[in-house]
């Protein structure tokens, strides 16, 4: 039987970074991936003459020369920084309030952002300046937490980062109201809530502020050749460091004896190891992969209490005209029925709700599709089980087409930009597509809801306590840093370092 120091199940962002980190530290690591390619949803696919990114709209925390962000710093540690080609958007976001028809375009750069907000919402300057001051404190504290890899000296944390410690328990709206930010500015500033999948009265201020700050400070980043480029580079680096990766190798069982991991099994092969890092949902791991008598009751209880995060519908459109011809001027279009995230979140428990994020990669990356063409990705989140209730074997393809029609219409009506006549290629992904592809329950694309105990800080501080089977850890979107490209990359490194420590 082949034996490894650590086996990583799943080659998503978290799994690849965890495996590469351990391999570079001299460990003998195996990745078992059920699919054919690295990256999980960080991949691309081809339709006709278009190469679509399956997931990445924008990466936060990737700086430019002389202004290093957390992710390029991580890539440098992993030895891949010079091997990827990244581009940056000049605009942080463009949001349209469907209710009032008001539009807000927010630039990159803290000063520019504050200035623009003052133009839209006179009297917001002081509170916006306070907000970005807090963001800076939070970012410093989070960098400290990451550098300590969880072995935190609490006294040190209190002394060095008092703002961070004080803000830690509060939700986004509570802090923004406390610093007297005008209501309209709060609404515009909370545009990114859909990226974390929780309305601002549930979402941790610290988490949200750190994400907004990264986007505004460095600008949203994308790789020139889709997220597949990032995944391939990580895979190559892992293999060059001596790591082993087997594709079409779905893990069915994790062997546990006396509370400790002893190996894993695919359909036809067993591997020995005392360390497993699962790039999967703990619900699947505890529910299906470990025999019942070996699953700690506390982990069962926790998994039963946790609420799954957002599901997603993505429409990938290859258009046979350029951005200029069609009339696209923004990279990211956030189209909201209501800028109040609490109201919008409720509406998004329906399937046909009209909250759409549209991304036009060609605005940032001229190479995103052949000359004279462009790409538009429309993504719409769905909360709860409305999709599962609506869809059955008979109506699935009809619902899929109705959804595409509805989202295209919503985009056209809100922006006044006609796209239908330019469609050359179209692909539609639903929660079912993501469920089949990733294996995550109900096809969720955002791990757990970032709410209560599942917000960033409680997750970070209780990660070790939740590790009740010796040698078993989790990484990726269901991990302690929650979902997103940056979070899953960083979490991969965190988990690798903890495994190494063990
Ligand atoms: C449409 C869409 C748009 C998004 N946009 C953005 C964005 O713009 N910015 C951003 O930061 N984030 C975005 N995200 C979120 C981000 O893509 C995810 O949070 C992140 O990629 C998840 O990484 P992960 O490490 O959890 O791995 P996953 O991508 O979930 O991969 C898990 C891997 O495990 C494998 N696997 C599962 N079960 C098994 C098994 N039993 N045996 C072996 N292998 C197994 C799967 O095949 C898969 O390769 C988006 C997601 C989607 C779907």
Centre of ligand 1 from the C-alpha of residue 314, in Å: 14
Q: Is residue 443 part of a domain?
A: no
Q: Is 251 in the pocket of ligand 1 (CB under 6 A)?
A: yes
Q: Is residue 22 part of a domain?
A: yes
Centre of ligand 1 from the C-alpha of residue 48, in Å: 24
* Claim to verify: residue 332 and residue 421 sit in the same structural domain: yes
Q: Is 410 in the pocket of ligand 1 (CB under 6 A)?
A: no
CA end-to-end distance (rounded Å), the chain: 23
369 CB-contact burial (10 Å; exposed 0-12 / middle 13-18 / buried 19+): buried
Question: Which numbered atom of ligand 1 lies nearest the CA of 434?
Answer: 53
With 90 as the cut, is the pLDDT of residue 150 above it? Answer: no
* Claim to verify: residue 426 and residue 324 sit in the same structural domain: yes
Q: Is 231 in the pocket of ligand 1 (CB under 6 A)?
A: no
Structure tokens at 182: 């005008």
Q: Tell me the residue length of the chain.
A: 502
Q: How far is residue 322's CA from residue 369's CA, in Å, rounded to a whole number?
A: 10
Average pLDDT of span 212-219: 96
Q: Is residue 420 part of a domain?
A: yes
Instruction: Give per-residue pLDDT as tens, 378-411.
Output: 999 999 999 999 999 999 999 999 999 999 999 9
Best CA proximity match to 57, nearest among 363, 311, 320 = 363
Q: How far is residue 228's CA from residue 205's CA, in Å, rounded to a whole number?
A: 32
Nearest residue by C-alpha to atom 36 in ligand 1 = 10
Q: How far is residue 54's CA from residue 379's CA, in Å, rounded to a whole number?
A: 11
Half-sphere exposure of 273 (CA within 13 A, CB side): 26
DSSP annotation string for 22-41: HHHTT--EEEE-SSSSTBTT
Structure tokens at 167: 């803000």
With 90 as the cut, is the pLDDT of residue 453 above it? Answer: no
Q: Is residue 444 part of a domain?
A: no
Mean of per-residue pLDDT scores for the chain? 95
Question: Which numbered atom of ligand 1 lies nearest the CA of 38?
Answer: 49
3 state SS of 267: coil
With 70 as the cut, is the pLDDT of residue 323 above it? Answer: yes
Centre of ligand 1 from the C-alpha of residue 12, in Å: 6
Centre of ligand 1 from the C-alpha of residue 166, in Å: 33
Q: Is residue 30 part of a domain?
A: yes
Average pLDDT of span 439-468: 91
Average pLDDT of span 183-187: 97
Average pLDDT of span 480-497: 96
Centre of ligand 1 from the C-alpha of residue 344, in Å: 25
Q: Is residue 471 part of a domain?
A: yes
Centre of ligand 1 from the C-alpha of residue 483, in Å: 8
Half-sphere exposure of 165 (CA within 13 A, CB side): 12
- Write the CATH number for 297: 3.50.50.60
* Claim to verify: residue 116 and residue 142 sit in the same structural domain: yes
Q: Is 485 in the pocket of ligand 1 (CB under 6 A)?
A: yes
- Write the CATH number for 163: 1.10.405
Give 125's pLDDT tier (boundaries 50, 70, 90): very high
* Claim to verify: residue 330 and residue 368 sit in the same structural domain: yes
* Claim to verify: residue 118 and residue 205 sit in the same structural domain: yes
Centre of ligand 1 from the C-alpha of residue 39, in Å: 7
Residue 315 belongs to what domain range?
A: 310-438
Give 187's pLDDT tier (boundaries 50, 70, 90): very high
Q: Is 483 in the pocket of ligand 1 (CB under 6 A)?
A: yes
Question: Which numbered atom of ligand 1 lies nearest the CA of 41?
Answer: 29
Q: How far is residue 238's CA from residue 21's CA, in Å, rounded to a whole number?
A: 8
**Residue that terminates a domain, selected from 384, 419, 438:** 438
**Residue that terminates a domain, selected from 216, 243, 260:** 216
CA angle 206, 207, 213 (to 5 degrees): 85
53 sits in which H/E element: strand 50-53
Is 34 in contact with 248 (CB distance < 8 Å)? Answer: yes
* Claim to verify: residue 379 and residue 276 sit in the same structural domain: no
Give 149's pLDDT tier (boundaries 50, 70, 90): low
Question: Which numbered atom of ligand 1 lies nearest the CA of 314?
Answer: 1
Q: How far is residue 361's CA from residue 419's CA, in Å, rounded to a whole number?
A: 15
* Claim to verify: residue 142 and residue 180 sit in the same structural domain: yes
* Claim to verify: residue 144 and residue 202 sit in the same structural domain: yes
Q: What is the pLDDT of residue 57?
A: 94
The owner of tokens 């791990």 is: 447
Q: What is the pLDDT of residue 155?
A: 83
Q: Is 488 in the pocket of ligand 1 (CB under 6 A)?
A: yes
Lowest mean pLDDT among 336-345, 347-356, 451-460, 466-475: 451-460
Nearest residue by C-alpha to atom 15 in ligand 1 = 484
Radius of gyration of the chain (CA): 22
Centre of ligand 1 from the C-alpha of residue 485, in Å: 8
Instruction: Give per-residue pLDDT as tens, 40-80.
Output: 999 999 999 999 999 999 999 999 867 899 999 999 999 99
Checking phi first, is residue 112 left (phi over 0); if not, alpha (psi -120 to 50) or beta?
alpha
| Percent of the chain with pLDDT strictly greater than 90 | 92
Structure tokens at 321: 């005209």
Centre of ligand 1 from the C-alpha of residue 101, in Å: 34
* Claim to verify: residue 244 and residue 293 sit in the same structural domain: yes
Average pLDDT of span 2-27: 98
3 state SS of 405: helix
Q: Is 24 in the pocket of ligand 1 (CB under 6 A)?
A: no
Tally of domains within the chain = 3
Question: Which numbered atom of ligand 1 lies nearest the CA of 57?
Answer: 8
Question: Which numbered atom of ligand 1 lies nearest the CA of 379?
Answer: 1
Q: How far is residue 98's CA from residue 95's CA, in Å, rounded to a whole number?
A: 9
Q: Is 42 in the pocket of ligand 1 (CB under 6 A)?
A: yes
Q: What is the pLDDT of residue 145?
A: 81
The overall pTM is greater than 0.75:
yes
Centre of ligand 1 from the C-alpha of residue 375, in Å: 22
Q: Is 33 in the pocket of ligand 1 (CB under 6 A)?
A: yes
Q: What is the pLDDT of residue 412?
A: 98
- Which stretches of 386-489 are assigned E, i.e. beta strand? 423-429, 472-474
Average pLDDT of span 290-312: 95
Task: Say what the alpha-carbon torsion angle 445, 447, 450, 452 is, to the nearest 10 degrees.
Answer: 150
Best CA proximity match to 30, nearest among 325, 207, 206, 249 = 249
* Claim to verify: residue 133 and residue 200 sit in the same structural domain: yes
**Residue that terminates a domain, selected from 180, 199, 216:** 216
* Claim to verify: residue 326 and residue 421 sit in the same structural domain: yes
Residues 6+ apart with CB under 8 A from 46: 52
Q: Is 438 in the pocket of ligand 1 (CB under 6 A)?
A: yes
With 80 as the cut, is the pLDDT of residue 152 above it? Answer: no
- Write the CATH number for 425: 3.90.660.20
* Claim to verify: residue 315 and residue 431 sit in the same structural domain: yes
Half-sphere exposure of 2 (CA within 13 A, CB side): 18
Give 157's pLDDT tier (boundaries 50, 70, 90): confident
């Amino acid at each position: 039987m082949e034996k490894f120091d650590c086996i990583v199940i799943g080659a998503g962002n978290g799994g690849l970074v965890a495996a590469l980190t351990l391999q570079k530290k001299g460990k003998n690591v195996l990745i078992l991936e059920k699919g054919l390619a690295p990256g999980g949803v960080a991949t691309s696919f081809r339709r006709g003459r278009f190469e679509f990114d399956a997931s990445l709209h924008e990466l936060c925390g990737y700086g430019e020369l002389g202004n290093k962000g957390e992710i390029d710093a991580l890539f440098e540690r992993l030895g891949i920084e010079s091997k990827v080609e990244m581009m940056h958007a000049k605009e942080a976001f463009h949001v349209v309030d469907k209710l009032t028809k008001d539009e807000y375009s927010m630039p990159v750069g803290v000063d520019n952002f504050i200035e623009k907000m003052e133009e839209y919402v006179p009297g917001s300057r002081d509170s916006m300046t306070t907000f970005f001051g807090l963001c800076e404190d939070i970012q410093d504290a989070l960098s400290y937490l990451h550098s300590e890899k969880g072995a935190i000296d609490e006294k040190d944390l209190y002394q060095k980062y008092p703002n961070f410690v004080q803000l830690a328990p509060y939700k986004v709206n509570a802090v923004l109201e406390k610093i007297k930010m005008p209501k309209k500015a709060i609404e515009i500033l909370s545009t990114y809530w859909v990226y974390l999948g929780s309305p601002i009265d549930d979402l941790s201020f610290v988490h949200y502020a750190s994400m907004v700050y990264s986007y505004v400070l460095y600008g949203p980043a994308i790789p020139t050749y889709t997220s597949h480029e990032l995944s391939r580079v990580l895979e190559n680096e892992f293999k060059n460091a001596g790591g082993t990766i087997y594709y079409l190798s779905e893990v069915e069982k994790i062997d546990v004896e006396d509370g400790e991991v002893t190996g894993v099994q695919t359909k036809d092969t067993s591997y020995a190891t005392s360390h497993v890092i699962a790039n999967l949902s703990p619900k699947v791991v505890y529910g299906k992969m470990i025999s019942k008598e070996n699953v700690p009751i506390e982990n069962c209880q926790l998994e039963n209490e946790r609420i799954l995060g957002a599901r997603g519908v993505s429409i990938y459109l290859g258009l046979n005209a350029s951005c200029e011809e069609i009339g696209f001027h923004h990279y990211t279009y956030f189209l909201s029925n209501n800028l109040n995230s609490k109201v919008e979140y409720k509406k998004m428990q329906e399937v046909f709700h009209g909250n759409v994020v549209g991304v036009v990669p060609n605005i940032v990356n001229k190479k995103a599709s052949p000359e004279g063409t462009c790409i538009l990705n429309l993504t719409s989140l769905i909360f709860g089980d409305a999709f599962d209730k609506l869809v059955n074997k008979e109506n699935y393809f009809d619902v899929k087409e109705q959804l595409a029609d509805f989202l295209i219409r919503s985009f056209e009506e809100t922006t006044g930009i006609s796209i239908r006549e330019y469609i050359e290629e179209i692909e539609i992904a639903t929660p079912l597509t993501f469920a089949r592809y990733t294996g995550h329950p109900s096809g969720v694309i955002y791990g757990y809801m970032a709410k209560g105990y599942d917000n960033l800080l409680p997750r970070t501080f209780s990660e070790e306590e939740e590790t009740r089977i010796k040698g078993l850890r989790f990484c990726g979107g269901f991990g302690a840093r929650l979902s997103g490209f940056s979070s899953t990359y960083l979490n991969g490194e965190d988990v690798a370092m903890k495994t190494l420590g063990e």
